[in-house]
Chains A and B, each alone.
Chain A
Amino acid sequence: MHLRLTADPIDTNAARRELLDAAAGACVSFEGWVRNFSEGREVTHLEYEAFEALAVREGERVIAEALRRFPIKHALCIHRVGDLALTDMAVWVGVSSAHRGEAFEACRYIIDEIKHRVPIWKKEHYLDGDSGWVNCESCAAAPRHSHAHHGSVE
Chain B
Amino acid sequence: MQLNVQYYAIMREQAGRSEETVETSAETAADLYAELRLRHRFTLTREQLKVAVNGEFSDWSCRLTVGDAVVFLPPVAGG
| Chain A residues packing against B (C-beta within 8 Å) | 32, 48-51, 53-55, 57-58, 79, 90-91, 111, 114-123, 133-137, 139-140, 143, 145, 147, 149, 151, 153-154
Contacts and interface: CB of A to CB of B under 8 A. Distances in A.
Which 5 interchain pairs have the tightest Cβ spacing?
A: A120-B78, A121-B9, A115-B79, A134-B77, A135-B75
Interface in B50-79: 52, 55-57, 71, 73-79
Nearest to A46: B77
Contacts of B73: 51, 119
A28 to B, nearest CB: 16
Contacts, number: 90
B7 to A, nearest CB: 10
B52 to A, nearest CB: 6
Nearest to B69: A53
B79 A32 contact: yes
A122 B77 contact: yes
A117 B56 contact: no
Contacts of B57: 54, 58
Given A32-B79, A115-B79, A133-B10, A51 B74 contact: no
A79 B78 CA distance: 8
A153 B74 CA distance: 19
B9 A123 contact: yes
Q: Which of B45, B48, B73, B79 has the most CB of A within 10 A?
A: B79
A136 B44 contact: yes
Contacts of B78: 48, 50, 55, 79, 91, 114-115, 118, 120-122
17 contacts: A48-B78, A49-B12, A51-B52, A53-B55, A54-B56, A54-B71, A58-B57, A79-B79, A90-B79, A111-B79, A114-B79, A115-B77, A120-B76, A121-B78, A133-B9, A133-B77, A140-B43
B23 interface: no
Given A51-B73, A55-B78, A118-B76, 15 more contacts: A32-B79, A48-B78, A49-B8, A49-B9, A51-B71, A79-B79, A115-B79, A119-B73, A121-B74, A121-B78, A133-B10, A139-B48, A145-B48, A149-B77, A151-B77
